[in-house]
Structure 1
């Protein structure tokens, strides 16, 4: 059996999404059918639309999602019908060495990046043609079928728009600060890029007590949002950016985060930190985009340059923790949402993102 679901579908080479109706199969063993409550509009989706990343096609886009469990397949025990869940775009296999050692964020058995369920199938069709859910989520759809390991139970008090962002941008930003960088209270940090992920990093830096917190962006709208969420200083990019940061931090930041995914800003990241500092690549660049780094200078100054994928998030551990922080008033995720939109407005949301506008748009179903 299957059910119709209005969805935003991407076809290879197109820069806009086609709003149409796909068929969503009933959940197979080990999978969960979710009626979507909200879906974030993320820069990773834009990378696909702009041709930066290659994916199977056609694809139902969206990977930041939250909703209500509508049905479960045989063998599912983690969640039940009626539960509220956040969807994880990197479902773990729970069996490989990485998963068994608590590092499911580098799971070797997940097929999430193939946009298929663990058995290689897709639950979606359109006019009899196979359709792929982006990162095995496909949250820009009224319904989604995901592996049990990709549906994480959360309290019903968390609104779906907030919950959807916890599933990617919040987890990525928080994890980059806490799991990857290990930022200590009272230490300085700079965040290059004040979009959804950058603002999430700033929220996490404030939460752990970093000071000063410097946000860098071209958009005054985004810098204003950064100040509201905890940035103590805001700067626009310039040729002397490193010197300006050094003046604020007395020699360079202890931590620097790149949240755009641009080759040029990644290359400049080590210049923003002091000796012994740590630079973290959070933004994901286009495919086949090599970055040039002065390795000798990096080594001689004792600086670290690390990559952060999904903030080294363990969804079953971190999503409930982030939800609890939100409910306690310590993680103001709702302030990150600048626009709540319908599915019909998704193409304009991406156009605004390309123009450098908005903090984060969220589709409300």
Structure 2
């Protein structure tokens, strides 16, 4: 097994990415270390790179980070007691998975009223260069903290290029369809998606 992995570190708008090497993290019980197969570039990441979004106006302190939330991969290592995916299917090293990047708290008003996409506590933030190191998809590995949803991909015919979009593009469409309570046979008009 590898002892280190590389990550592309974003340093701010209009900056080149740095390729840095970090040690593979020790896994907490229930965690998963994913070997990334594919990461897409989300439109939001393009806006950040181009400087179109001033994160300070959002109350976020600008900092170096490992971006990328549209990704898919294979189980590289499983933390102690992690034996199944979120549907209870056996999970082992080498299995293809799709997985949750954004993690709602499950306890706030929004989570308890089926609006977890609005959870204000949705994600742990880590300091770059500190454990667990691999916190975004622009890297060779991704560290999934315990409790995040992971699903074994049962059909090898589905390419990683489609699976990677589940964390953002697909889930946004699914959330929209859920919010409007769309039923089979109904028609809708989509305007300005993206």
Q: TM-score, normalised by structure 1?
A: 0.42
Higher relative contact order (CA 8 A, sep 6+): 2
2: CA distance between counterparts of 1:57 and 1:108? 20
Judging changes above 3 Å, is the alpha-carbon distance between structure 1 residues 53 and 91 closer, same or farther for their aligned structure 2 residues? farther
Tell me what 2:181 maps to. 182
2: CA distance between counterparts of 1:47 and 1:145? 25
2: CA distance between counterparts of 1:99 and 1:75? 26
Partner residue of 1:154 out of 142, 152, 164: 152
CA contact (8 A) 2:69 2:101 kept: yes
Tell me what 1:85 maps to. 97
Structure 1 stretch displaced more, 149-158 or 164-173: 149-158
2: CA distance between counterparts of 1:97 and 1:190? 29
Task: Please provide the CA RMSD for this pair.
Answer: 2.9
Partner residue of 1:107 out of 115, 119, 126: 119
Task: State the secondary structure of the residue aligned to 1:59.
Answer: coil
CA contact (8 A) 1:92 1:150 kept: no
1: CA distance between counterparts of 2:30 and 2:92? 14
CA contact (8 A) 2:34 2:77 kept: yes
Judging changes above 3 Å, is the alpha-carbon distance between structure 1 residues 71 and 100 closer, same or farther for their aligned structure 2 residues? farther
Provide the aligned length of Structure 1 versus Structure 2.
176
CA contact (8 A) 1:32 1:151 kept: no
Paired residues for 1:260-299 under 5 Å = none
Judging changes above 3 Å, is the alpha-carbon distance between structure 1 residues 66 and 76 closer, same or farther for their aligned structure 2 residues? same
Deviation at 1:101, TM superposition (A): 4.4
CA contact (8 A) 1:15 1:50 kept: no
CA offsets 1:320-346 (integer angstroms, 9 cap, x no match): xxxxxxxxxxxxxxxxxxxxxxxxxxx
Tell me what 1:169 maps to. 169
Deviation at 1:91, TM superposition (A): 1.0
Tell me what 1:26 maps to. 26
Paired residues for 1:197-276 under 5 Å = 198=193, 259=194
2: CA distance between counterparts of 1:86 and 1:101? 25
What residue ranges of structure 1 are gaps of 5+ in the alignment? 125-131, 193-197, 199-258, 260-365
Tell me what 1:73 maps to. 79
Tell me what 2:4 maps to. 4
1: CA distance between counterparts of 2:118 and 2:48? 22
CA offsets 1:175-234 (integer angstroms, 9 cap, x no match): 22x112334645451422xxxxx3xxxxxxxxxxxxxxxxxxxxxxxxxxxxxxxxxxxx
Q: Greater share of helix residues, 1 or 2? A: 1
What residue ranges of structure 2 are gaps of 5+ in the alignment? 86-90
Paired residues for 1:318-357 under 5 Å = none
CA contact (8 A) 2:28 2:145 kept: no
CA contact (8 A) 2:99 2:151 kept: no
Deviation at 1:162, TM superposition (A): 1.2
Tell me what 1:46 maps to. 46
CA contact (8 A) 1:14 1:49 kept: yes
Judging changes above 3 Å, is the alpha-carbon distance between structure 1 residues 110 and 29 closer, same or farther for their aligned structure 2 residues? farther
Partner residue of 1:116 out of 109, 122, 126: 126
2: CA distance between counterparts of 1:159 and 1:101? 34
CA contact (8 A) 1:64 1:87 kept: no
CA contact (8 A) 2:83 2:92 kept: no
